[in-house]
Structures are given as C-alpha cells and as structure tokens.
Amino acid sequence: MSDNDLHFLKTLPERQREDLLFTGRPSVEVVKKQLLKLKTILLEHEDAFIEALHSDLGKPAFESSSSEIAVLLNEIEYVCKHLAKWNRPVRSRHLKLGYVESIKRVRHPYASVLIIGSWNYPLQLTLMPAIGAIAGGNRCVIKPSEHAPATAELLKEIMNQAFPPEQLHVVTGDAQTASLLTSAPFDLIFFTGSGKTGKAVAEQAAKQLTPVILELGGKNPCIMDETGYSKAAIRDIVWGKFLNAGQTCIAPDTLFVHHSIYEQALIEISACLSAFYGDRPQASGDFGRICTDAHFQKMVDFIGQGIVRVGGTHDRNDRFIAPTVLTDIKPGSPILEEEIFGPVLPVIPYTDLKTLLSSGKLQRDSLTGYIFSTNKDQIQLFKEHMRSPTISVNSVIHHAASPHIAFGGVGRSGYGAYHGKAGFLAFSYEKTDYRTYHYLRFQGKFPPYSDRNMNALKKLRRWLL
C-alpha cells in the first residue's frame, strides 16, 4: 500500500464526517435515493455477482440469488417503506410543579461507519449492514473479506463508481488493511466473522472508545424429540445444514435426536442427501465448496473424530468436502466444542431433554437454537434454557431472512443486532431536544439547603423532578 493510499484511508473517516456536517443530516428522500441506487446496482449486476460468488465458494446460482441477492433486495424495499415512520420525532410534554417540560427525540447518524464483511456470504453480510448504516444517515467505508476475492473486487469496482468516497467507499485488502482501518477514527465499527477476530476488533476499537457491533457465530443446537420427527422436518434440517456447504453462521451445528427415532432419522437424512445431491455430490451443480485451504483441513480433521454414516470423501484440489453425517463422536473431540461451520453433521442420540440440557453439551449463547417438537412443555423447557436471541421452532434458517426480526447474538455469539428497524436503530443514536417552560420558580433547589427544603423534596419529589 502506497503512502498516498495510506493517507487516504486514515483521513477518509474525517472527510466523511466533515461532509456530513457540511450537508447536514440527510432527509428521508435522500436516504431512499441512496438505497434505491444500491437496489439498482444489485439488479443490473446480478449475473456478475452470481459468477463472482461461484468463483469464490462454488455457490449454485439459485443459492446466490435466494440467500444473497433476494434477501438484500427485500431488506431495501422494507427499509424504504418504513423509513419515514422510523425517522419521525417522538414528542412528549410533562407537567411539573412550576414548569412544563417539552421533549423531542430524534434519531441521528453516528457519521462515518466501518463495515467489515465475512467470506461465507460475502455479498449479503457485507451489504446488509450497509443498508442499515445508510438508513441511519451515515457515511460508510466497507471492507469485504479477502477470502472471497472475486466478490470483493467486483464490489469495489461497482460501488466506488456509483458512490463518491465521502458517501460510501469499498476498500479491499488483507488482515493488515483491516487492522489499519480499525485503528482509524471511525464513529462506529460493524464486524461479522469469527469470535477470535471479533475480540481483536473490539480490543482495537476500545483504544479509541469506538462503539462496535459484533456478529459472530456459535454451535447452534438442533433438537428433534419423538414428537417432532417427520420426513418434512428432516428435509428442512438437511437443507439448512448443507446450504452453502454448511458455511452458514445460523446452520444447525449438531443434531440431537431422541433415541426412539434415532435410526429412523439417520436413514431419512441419508435419503435426503441422496435426493438433494445425488450419489456423487462432487459432480452436483447444487453443492458449494469450502472457501479456504485452512478451513478445508479443519473439516477433514472433524470427519476423523467420529464414525462416518454418510459421505466423508473429500478432494483438496477442488476444496470439496462431501455432505457428511457422523455418529459415535469420540468424547472430548474438538467437533463437540468448536463451531463446525461446514458440511459435517454430528447426530447424537439423547433420552431425556432435561438431562441433555443440564449436561453442558449445548452452547446456551449460540446465535440461534432449533427445536423440532409438538410438545409444548419440551419447547418451553428448551426456550428457558437457551440464551440465544432467537429460538426457531420446527424450522431452520428462515428467520434470518425476515426484516421483521432483529438479527444478532449474545455472549459468545456477539452483541448488537440489525435487519429492518433494528438496523436503523443500531446505526443511529437518540438525540434529545429538551425545553422547559416555567410558570413558577422553586427557589428551594438552590443552596444553601435547609431541612424545610428537604421535607418539601420528599413530599413533592414526583412533581419537582
């Protein structure tokens, strides 16, 4: 990186902040124009984005269109529809003893926002927070993941032509570039990625007291009790697990199946995988690839930690890992502790849900939790045990595509949330205009204080303060 490029990046947050101060908080109409420009970019370059996603991850065109582009288009349309309502000032008046207080609260942009995207959904997870940031009235600097280079370069080329750098700018580069950006004086940082990197981003941001939103991951448990089994339920779980070759932060991580339906479930999982991807999934055009060599090796190591019931084959040159089902996991294996984030599904039998929940085998603060059941007591027990912000009953994945639901983590799965109104709120802060109109001055609030004033305060506290 040249000295000129270095200087440009370091000064860009201040330039964006000054430009916002000069032009003022953007109107709803201006923000909508920016969002609709983004919508036009997605529609006009859809084929190019699909090709880039296939180059980076081997994504089927249908998955790229449905789980990346369509989700973004729906988000833009939803935000544009509701933006005026979200931006309306909230006014209230309160009568006090001696005065009336008038309060007006409005949402205000932070100013310059840094967005660091992830490689597993390199388009959606990069532009979705940008939609929230733009909706909040901010200027953005976007750093796509270097592990999805085709998508990153395409974003840089298209977005930097469409927007001036003072409004929105895409920067490509490796971890060193990301470190440089997180040390720059941004007003808010949004990061999607691993817990390890998320900690480093938060630590760097803390040096400048920059607020951070972290979207991390977790071992999302999926439970199927004896009342929740059906071929449709198994099909849904298999689809959700192996979508994007398992590289989805809200994918079912490990499937816990009641012992009475365990073998039946395994047989149906195998049938579903055969129906989805055929007998040679490597030749299927509907199954993606592992993004990096290091992640490929991690999946290979995981496969060796149990008995392969289905799949298990892999091709390093193609970064292909077959959809794999594991049973009889060795106690203490890393696959039981670490987020899998790939096409390897451990299926573990259990006898009693209460015993399973108390065993410590489930990550309570995972990004989401899944349960397939018609037993209300079992569902409620699971809900009370989990700390996850979202619990999905008899369905997987779909909740993350809804703009009506805040998407975010808690504890090890991150903090802060976005999507829909939650995104607008995450990328703006409340600014209050406070005024008082006095009709009687209470002199007792000024020193020197007296016992009489103290007694008056105790009796009239609710009206004085």
Q: Is 179 left (phi over 0), alpha (psi -120 to 50) or beta?
A: alpha
Residue 435, SS3? strand
pLDDT tens per residue across all 465 residues of the chain: 666 777 888 899 999 999 999 898 999 999 999 999 999 999 999 999 999 999 999 999 999 999 999 999 999 999 999 999 999 999 999 988 788 999 999 999 999 999 999 999 999 999 999 999 999 999 999 999 999 999 999 999 999 999 999 999 999 999 999 999 999 999 999 999 999 999 999 999 999 999 999 999 889 999 999 999 999 999 999 999 999 999 999 999 999 999 999 999 999 999 999 999 999 999 999 999 999 999 999 999 999 999 999 999 999 999 999 999 999 998 899 999 999 999 999 999 999 999 999 999 999 999 999 999 999 999 999 999 999 999 999 999 999 999 999 999 999 999 999 999 999 999 999 999 999 988 878 787 889 988 888 888 888 877 766
User: How far is CA 169 from each of CA 96, 200, 458, rounded to the nearest angstrom?
Assistant: 49, 23, 56
Q: How many helices (H) and strands (E) does the chain have?
A: 16, 20
Amino acid, res. 254: T
pTM more than 0.85: yes
Please give the angle made by the CA atoms of 133, 86 and 81, to the nearest 5 degrees: 85
Q: Which domains does the chain have, with CATH numbers?
A: 3-216+416-429 (3.40.605.10), 221-397 (3.40.309.10)
Paired tokens of 127: 């532009």
Q: How far apart are CA 356 and CA 376, in angstroms?
A: 17
The residues carrying an active-site annotation are 215, 249
310 CB-near residues (< 8 Å, 6+ apart): 269, 270, 273, 323, 324, 325
Q: How many CB atoms lie within 10 A of CB 374?
A: 13
Tally the C-alpha atoms within 13 A of residue 414's C-alpha that lie toward its C-beta.
28
Paired tokens of 356: 């399973």
- Are the CB atoms for 83 and 32 separated by under 8 Å? yes
154 CB-near residues (< 8 Å, 6+ apart): 45, 48, 49, 52
